[in-house]
A and B are shown apart, each in its own frame.
Chain A
Amino acid sequence: MDDKTKITITLPTNAYFMSGIRDFTLTMIKNTTSFPEKWAFRFQSVIDELCNNAVEYGSAPGTEIKITYVYTKDDYLEISVEDTGTGKNKITAKDLKKIFDDRRKADYIFSGIRGRGLVKIVGEWTDEINFTDREGGGITVTVKKYVKNVRQKITTEETNEPNLTFHNKITL
Protein backbone atom coordinates (compact mmCIF):
# COMPACT_ATOMS: atom_id res chain seq x y z
CA MET A 1 0.00 0.00 0.00
CA ASP A 2 1.18 3.53 -0.77
CA ASP A 3 2.34 5.74 2.04
CA LYS A 4 -0.60 8.01 1.38
CA THR A 5 -4.15 6.84 0.81
CA LYS A 6 -7.00 9.11 -0.21
CA ILE A 7 -10.64 8.05 -0.34
CA THR A 8 -13.50 10.34 -1.31
CA ILE A 9 -17.17 9.51 -0.88
CA THR A 10 -20.06 11.64 -2.06
CA LEU A 11 -23.49 10.92 -0.71
CA PRO A 12 -26.97 12.40 -0.81
CA THR A 13 -28.05 14.70 2.01
CA ASN A 14 -29.83 12.06 4.05
CA ALA A 15 -29.00 10.64 7.48
CA TYR A 16 -30.13 7.25 6.20
CA PHE A 17 -26.72 6.69 4.62
CA MET A 18 -24.72 7.32 7.76
CA SER A 19 -24.93 3.77 9.03
CA GLY A 20 -23.03 2.60 5.94
CA ILE A 21 -20.48 5.38 6.30
CA ARG A 22 -19.88 4.42 9.93
CA ASP A 23 -19.38 0.77 8.96
CA PHE A 24 -16.97 1.75 6.21
CA THR A 25 -15.02 4.02 8.56
CA LEU A 26 -14.69 1.34 11.21
CA THR A 27 -13.46 -1.26 8.75
CA MET A 28 -11.14 1.11 6.94
CA ILE A 29 -9.46 2.38 10.10
CA LYS A 30 -9.10 -1.11 11.55
CA ASN A 31 -7.69 -2.68 8.39
CA THR A 32 -5.65 0.00 6.70
CA THR A 33 -4.23 2.28 9.40
CA SER A 34 -2.03 1.87 12.43
CA PHE A 35 -4.57 3.41 14.79
CA PRO A 36 -5.69 1.07 17.58
CA GLU A 37 -9.19 -0.41 17.37
CA LYS A 38 -10.48 1.97 20.02
CA TRP A 39 -9.72 4.82 17.67
CA ALA A 40 -11.62 3.17 14.83
CA PHE A 41 -14.74 3.51 16.99
CA ARG A 42 -13.84 7.09 17.84
CA PHE A 43 -13.36 8.10 14.22
CA GLN A 44 -16.70 6.48 13.49
CA SER A 45 -18.27 8.97 15.89
CA VAL A 46 -16.22 11.90 14.57
CA ILE A 47 -17.36 11.21 11.01
CA ASP A 48 -20.95 10.71 12.08
CA GLU A 49 -21.10 14.01 13.98
CA LEU A 50 -19.48 15.98 11.15
CA CYS A 51 -21.80 14.48 8.57
CA ASN A 52 -24.88 14.95 10.72
CA ASN A 53 -24.08 18.65 11.02
CA ALA A 54 -23.61 18.89 7.27
CA VAL A 55 -26.88 17.05 6.59
CA GLU A 56 -28.84 18.97 9.21
CA TYR A 57 -27.55 22.46 8.54
CA GLY A 58 -25.19 22.65 5.56
CA SER A 59 -26.68 20.88 2.55
CA ALA A 60 -30.32 20.94 1.52
CA PRO A 61 -32.16 17.69 0.73
CA GLY A 62 -31.47 16.71 -2.84
CA THR A 63 -27.91 17.99 -2.72
CA GLU A 64 -24.78 16.27 -1.47
CA ILE A 65 -22.11 16.09 1.15
CA LYS A 66 -18.58 14.96 0.42
CA ILE A 67 -16.32 13.03 2.78
CA THR A 68 -12.58 12.73 2.19
CA TYR A 69 -10.23 10.53 4.15
CA VAL A 70 -6.49 11.03 3.79
CA TYR A 71 -4.25 8.62 5.67
CA THR A 72 -0.51 9.07 5.64
CA LYS A 73 1.13 5.91 6.84
CA ASP A 74 2.10 5.99 10.52
CA ASP A 75 1.68 9.76 10.54
CA TYR A 76 -1.89 11.06 10.54
CA LEU A 77 -5.48 10.62 9.45
CA GLU A 78 -7.25 13.64 8.02
CA ILE A 79 -10.99 13.71 7.49
CA SER A 80 -12.85 16.44 5.61
CA VAL A 81 -16.59 16.89 5.31
CA GLU A 82 -17.95 19.39 2.82
CA ASP A 83 -21.46 20.75 2.53
CA THR A 84 -22.98 22.84 -0.23
CA GLY A 85 -24.21 25.77 1.85
CA THR A 86 -27.77 25.23 0.65
CA GLY A 87 -29.07 23.99 4.00
CA LYS A 88 -31.06 25.82 6.63
CA ASN A 89 -28.07 27.51 8.27
CA LYS A 90 -26.44 30.09 6.05
CA ILE A 91 -23.27 30.57 8.01
CA THR A 92 -19.64 31.08 7.14
CA ALA A 93 -16.60 29.21 8.32
CA LYS A 94 -15.87 32.13 10.61
CA ASP A 95 -19.33 31.84 12.19
CA LEU A 96 -18.91 28.12 12.70
CA LYS A 97 -15.49 28.59 14.25
CA LYS A 98 -17.00 31.10 16.67
CA ILE A 99 -19.72 28.61 17.64
CA PHE A 100 -17.04 26.00 18.22
CA ASP A 101 -14.84 28.34 20.23
CA ASP A 102 -17.73 29.59 22.37
CA ARG A 103 -18.85 26.07 23.23
CA ARG A 104 -15.33 25.04 24.04
CA LYS A 105 -15.02 27.55 26.85
CA ALA A 106 -14.84 25.94 30.26
CA ASP A 107 -17.85 27.81 31.57
CA TYR A 108 -20.11 27.03 28.62
CA ILE A 109 -23.18 25.07 29.73
CA PHE A 110 -24.79 22.81 27.21
CA SER A 111 -28.57 22.91 27.28
CA GLY A 112 -30.98 21.14 25.01
CA ILE A 113 -30.67 17.89 23.18
CA ARG A 114 -28.21 19.00 20.54
CA GLY A 115 -24.92 20.80 20.34
CA ARG A 116 -22.46 18.48 22.04
CA GLY A 117 -21.14 16.61 19.01
CA LEU A 118 -18.81 19.11 17.43
CA VAL A 119 -17.08 20.20 20.61
CA LYS A 120 -17.28 17.22 22.92
CA ILE A 121 -16.70 14.47 20.40
CA VAL A 122 -15.03 15.94 17.31
CA GLY A 123 -13.07 18.48 19.34
CA GLU A 124 -11.89 16.03 21.97
CA TRP A 125 -10.90 13.21 19.67
CA THR A 126 -8.90 15.16 17.09
CA ASP A 127 -5.71 17.20 17.25
CA GLU A 128 -6.55 19.90 14.72
CA ILE A 129 -9.78 21.31 13.35
CA ASN A 130 -10.03 23.68 10.44
CA PHE A 131 -13.10 25.48 9.07
CA THR A 132 -12.95 26.88 5.52
CA ASP A 133 -15.45 28.46 3.16
CA ARG A 134 -15.88 26.68 -0.14
CA GLU A 135 -15.90 28.48 -3.43
CA GLY A 136 -19.48 28.53 -4.61
CA GLY A 137 -20.86 28.14 -1.11
CA GLY A 138 -20.71 25.82 1.82
CA ILE A 139 -18.16 24.93 4.44
CA THR A 140 -15.44 22.33 4.67
CA VAL A 141 -14.59 21.06 8.14
CA THR A 142 -11.26 19.26 8.25
CA VAL A 143 -9.93 17.40 11.25
CA LYS A 144 -6.61 15.70 11.76
CA LYS A 145 -5.37 13.10 14.22
CA TYR A 146 -1.72 12.16 14.55
CA VAL A 147 -0.74 8.55 15.17
CA LYS A 148 2.12 9.64 17.43
CA ASN A 149 -0.29 11.33 19.82
CA VAL A 150 -2.36 8.18 20.14
CA ARG A 151 0.77 6.14 20.78
CA GLN A 152 2.04 8.59 23.35
CA LYS A 153 -1.23 8.38 25.19
CA ILE A 154 -1.22 4.60 25.17
CA THR A 155 2.31 4.60 26.56
CA THR A 156 1.27 7.05 29.22
CA GLU A 157 -1.67 4.92 30.26
CA GLU A 158 0.47 1.81 30.42
CA THR A 159 3.06 3.45 32.64
CA ASN A 160 0.45 5.03 34.88
CA GLU A 161 1.92 8.45 34.41
CA PRO A 162 -0.32 11.49 34.31
CA ASN A 163 -2.11 11.91 31.03
CA LEU A 164 -0.51 14.11 28.45
CA THR A 165 -2.81 16.77 27.16
CA PHE A 166 -2.92 17.65 23.51
CA HIS A 167 -4.68 20.89 22.93
CA ASN A 168 -6.36 21.29 19.64
CA LYS A 169 -4.81 23.58 17.14
CA ILE A 170 -7.66 25.50 15.56
CA THR A 171 -7.15 27.29 12.29
CA LEU A 172 -9.46 29.22 10.07
Chain B
Amino acid sequence: MTDASIFTEDVAGTQIKIVHISGQLDESNVDEKIKEVYHVLELNPKGLNLVCDLEKLEYMNSKSIGYLTDLYGKISDAGGQIAIANAKPNILDILQVVGLTQLIKTFGSIDDAKSSFSAQPAAPTVAPVAPASDPASPVQPVPAQPAVPIAQPTEPQAPQPTAQEPPKTA
Protein backbone atom coordinates (compact mmCIF):
# COMPACT_ATOMS: atom_id res chain seq x y z
CA MET B 1 0.00 0.00 0.00
CA THR B 2 1.31 3.45 -0.90
CA ASP B 3 2.08 5.80 1.99
CA ALA B 4 -0.59 8.32 2.86
CA SER B 5 -1.99 9.72 6.04
CA ILE B 6 -4.96 11.78 7.06
CA PHE B 7 -5.43 13.36 10.47
CA THR B 8 -7.95 15.81 11.77
CA GLU B 9 -7.46 19.00 13.74
CA ASP B 10 -10.22 20.84 15.58
CA VAL B 11 -10.35 24.61 15.51
CA ALA B 12 -11.45 25.44 19.03
CA GLY B 13 -14.75 27.20 19.46
CA THR B 14 -15.80 26.80 15.83
CA GLN B 15 -17.47 24.33 13.54
CA ILE B 16 -14.26 24.21 11.54
CA LYS B 17 -12.24 21.03 11.19
CA ILE B 18 -9.00 20.75 9.30
CA VAL B 19 -8.00 17.48 7.70
CA HIS B 20 -4.31 17.29 6.88
CA ILE B 21 -3.74 14.90 4.00
CA SER B 22 -0.22 13.81 3.10
CA GLY B 23 1.56 11.32 0.88
CA GLN B 24 -0.02 9.77 -2.18
CA LEU B 25 -3.69 8.89 -2.42
CA ASP B 26 -4.12 6.20 -5.02
CA GLU B 27 -6.02 3.04 -5.84
CA SER B 28 -4.10 1.03 -3.26
CA ASN B 29 -5.04 3.13 -0.23
CA VAL B 30 -7.75 5.72 -0.83
CA ASP B 31 -10.73 3.54 0.15
CA GLU B 32 -9.14 2.95 3.54
CA LYS B 33 -7.64 6.38 4.19
CA ILE B 34 -10.69 8.40 3.23
CA LYS B 35 -12.69 6.80 6.04
CA GLU B 36 -11.06 9.27 8.41
CA VAL B 37 -12.71 12.17 6.59
CA TYR B 38 -16.10 10.45 6.47
CA HIS B 39 -15.71 9.84 10.19
CA VAL B 40 -15.33 13.59 10.77
CA LEU B 41 -18.54 14.10 8.82
CA GLU B 42 -20.27 11.40 10.82
CA LEU B 43 -19.37 13.19 14.06
CA ASN B 44 -20.41 16.58 12.69
CA PRO B 45 -23.46 15.87 10.56
CA LYS B 46 -24.72 19.48 10.40
CA GLY B 47 -22.96 22.68 9.44
CA LEU B 48 -19.47 21.25 9.23
CA ASN B 49 -16.88 23.64 7.79
CA LEU B 50 -14.06 21.49 6.51
CA VAL B 51 -10.64 22.60 5.33
CA CYS B 52 -8.65 20.02 3.39
CA ASP B 53 -5.00 20.91 3.90
CA LEU B 54 -3.14 19.38 0.95
CA GLU B 55 0.27 20.90 1.63
CA LYS B 56 1.94 17.51 1.93
CA LEU B 57 -0.18 15.68 -0.61
CA GLU B 58 2.00 14.60 -3.51
CA TYR B 59 -0.45 12.68 -5.66
CA MET B 60 -4.16 11.98 -5.93
CA ASN B 61 -6.00 9.86 -8.46
CA SER B 62 -9.46 10.23 -9.96
CA LYS B 63 -11.08 8.10 -7.28
CA SER B 64 -9.74 10.44 -4.59
CA ILE B 65 -11.33 13.29 -6.52
CA GLY B 66 -14.56 11.30 -6.67
CA TYR B 67 -14.53 11.08 -2.89
CA LEU B 68 -13.92 14.83 -2.56
CA THR B 69 -16.87 15.45 -4.86
CA ASP B 70 -19.01 13.16 -2.74
CA LEU B 71 -17.92 14.95 0.44
CA TYR B 72 -18.72 18.30 -1.14
CA GLY B 73 -22.26 17.10 -1.84
CA LYS B 74 -22.82 15.70 1.63
CA ILE B 75 -21.36 18.67 3.50
CA SER B 76 -23.21 21.20 1.34
CA ASP B 77 -26.46 19.33 1.76
CA ALA B 78 -26.02 19.55 5.52
CA GLY B 79 -25.44 23.31 5.49
CA GLY B 80 -21.67 23.18 5.72
CA GLN B 81 -18.81 24.25 3.53
CA ILE B 82 -15.60 22.70 2.28
CA ALA B 83 -12.42 24.38 1.09
CA ILE B 84 -9.00 23.26 -0.09
CA ALA B 85 -5.77 24.84 1.15
CA ASN B 86 -2.10 24.67 0.20
CA ALA B 87 -2.41 22.34 -2.77
CA LYS B 88 0.75 21.87 -4.82
CA PRO B 89 0.64 22.93 -8.49
CA ASN B 90 0.32 19.37 -9.78
CA ILE B 91 -2.58 18.72 -7.40
CA LEU B 92 -4.34 21.94 -8.39
CA ASP B 93 -3.79 21.02 -12.02
CA ILE B 94 -5.63 17.73 -11.67
CA LEU B 95 -8.40 19.30 -9.57
CA GLN B 96 -8.88 21.86 -12.31
CA VAL B 97 -8.92 19.42 -15.19
CA VAL B 98 -11.71 17.39 -13.62
CA GLY B 99 -13.64 20.55 -12.79
CA LEU B 100 -13.56 20.24 -9.00
CA THR B 101 -12.24 23.77 -8.52
CA GLN B 102 -15.56 24.98 -9.90
CA LEU B 103 -17.24 23.39 -6.91
CA ILE B 104 -14.71 23.68 -4.09
CA LYS B 105 -12.78 26.88 -3.52
CA THR B 106 -9.02 26.65 -3.22
CA PHE B 107 -6.77 28.87 -1.12
CA GLY B 108 -3.08 29.44 -0.59
CA SER B 109 -3.26 29.05 3.16
CA ILE B 110 -5.35 27.43 5.86
CA ASP B 111 -6.09 30.85 7.35
CA ASP B 112 -7.50 32.11 4.07
CA ALA B 113 -9.64 29.00 3.79
CA LYS B 114 -10.94 29.44 7.33
CA SER B 115 -11.68 33.11 6.70
CA SER B 116 -13.77 32.20 3.69
CA PHE B 117 -16.17 30.30 5.94
CA SER B 118 -16.98 33.29 8.05
CA ALA B 119 -17.24 35.54 5.02
CA GLN B 120 -19.79 33.52 3.14
CA PRO B 121 -22.91 31.60 3.96
CA ALA B 122 -23.15 27.89 3.34
CA ALA B 123 -22.96 26.88 -0.27
CA PRO B 124 -26.13 25.93 -2.07
CA THR B 125 -26.95 22.30 -1.92
CA VAL B 126 -26.53 19.84 -4.70
CA ALA B 127 -29.26 17.56 -5.84
CA PRO B 128 -29.53 14.16 -4.23
CA VAL B 129 -28.59 11.54 -6.73
CA ALA B 130 -28.29 7.90 -7.43
CA PRO B 131 -27.88 5.43 -4.60
CA ALA B 132 -24.44 4.63 -3.42
CA SER B 133 -22.52 2.09 -5.36
CA ASP B 134 -19.21 2.14 -3.59
CA PRO B 135 -19.15 0.18 -0.36
CA ALA B 136 -15.88 1.62 0.76
CA SER B 137 -17.08 4.76 2.44
CA PRO B 138 -18.42 4.33 5.95
CA VAL B 139 -21.03 7.08 5.67
CA GLN B 140 -23.59 5.86 3.19
CA PRO B 141 -22.28 7.57 0.09
CA VAL B 142 -24.76 9.38 -2.07
CA PRO B 143 -22.38 10.47 -4.75
CA ALA B 144 -22.71 14.12 -5.54
CA GLN B 145 -23.47 15.22 -9.04
CA PRO B 146 -21.04 17.98 -9.70
CA ALA B 147 -23.11 19.26 -12.62
CA VAL B 148 -19.90 20.38 -14.18
CA PRO B 149 -19.82 19.83 -17.90
CA ILE B 150 -16.91 17.80 -19.11
CA ALA B 151 -14.07 20.21 -19.42
CA GLN B 152 -13.28 21.12 -22.96
CA PRO B 153 -9.82 20.11 -24.03
CA THR B 154 -8.19 23.34 -23.13
CA GLU B 155 -5.18 24.00 -21.01
CA PRO B 156 -6.06 24.69 -17.39
CA GLN B 157 -4.79 28.04 -16.24
CA ALA B 158 -1.79 28.23 -13.99
CA PRO B 159 -2.91 27.12 -10.54
CA GLN B 160 -3.99 30.04 -8.40
CA PRO B 161 -6.11 30.42 -5.33
CA THR B 162 -9.67 30.86 -6.43
CA ALA B 163 -12.47 32.45 -4.56
CA GLN B 164 -15.40 32.38 -6.91
CA GLU B 165 -18.82 31.36 -5.76
CA PRO B 166 -19.43 27.66 -6.34
CA PRO B 167 -21.91 27.17 -9.16
CA LYS B 168 -25.46 26.53 -8.19
CA THR B 169 -26.55 23.06 -9.10
CA ALA B 170 -30.02 21.89 -9.81
A residues in contact (CB < 8 Å) with B? 15-16, 18-19, 22, 38, 41-42, 44-45, 48-49, 52, 55-56, 103-117, 119-121, 123-125, 153, 156-157, 163-168
Contact = CB atoms under 8 A, between A and B. Distances in A.
15 contacts: A16-B28, A106-B149, A107-B149, A108-B150, A109-B145, A111-B145, A116-B66, A121-B62, A123-B153, A125-B97, A153-B155, A156-B155, A157-B157, A163-B154, A165-B153
A41 B93 contact: yes
Contacts of B28: 15-16, 18-19
Interface of B: 1-2, 24, 26-28, 59, 61-63, 65-67, 69-70, 89-90, 93-94, 97-99, 129-130, 132-134, 136-137, 141, 143-147, 149-155, 157-158
B2 A112 contact: no
A36 to B, nearest CB: 11
A124 B149 contact: no
Contacts of A44: 59
Contact of B61 (A49, A124, A156): A49
B61 to A, nearest CB: 6
B95 to A, nearest CB: 11
Contacts of A111: 129-130, 143-145
A155 to B, nearest CB: 11
Contacts, number: 115
Given A112-B66, A113-B134, A52 B61 contact: yes
A16 B1 contact: yes
Contacts of B134: 112-114
Given A48-B61, A116-B65, A120-B97, A168 B146 contact: no
Contacts of A167: 153
Contacts of B27: 15, 18, 48, 52, 55-56
A114 B93 contact: no
Given A114-B134, A117-B62, 17 more contacts: A16-B1, A16-B2, A52-B63, A105-B150, A109-B145, A110-B146, A111-B129, A113-B66, A113-B136, A117-B61, A119-B150, A124-B97, A125-B97, A163-B154, A165-B152, A165-B154, A166-B153
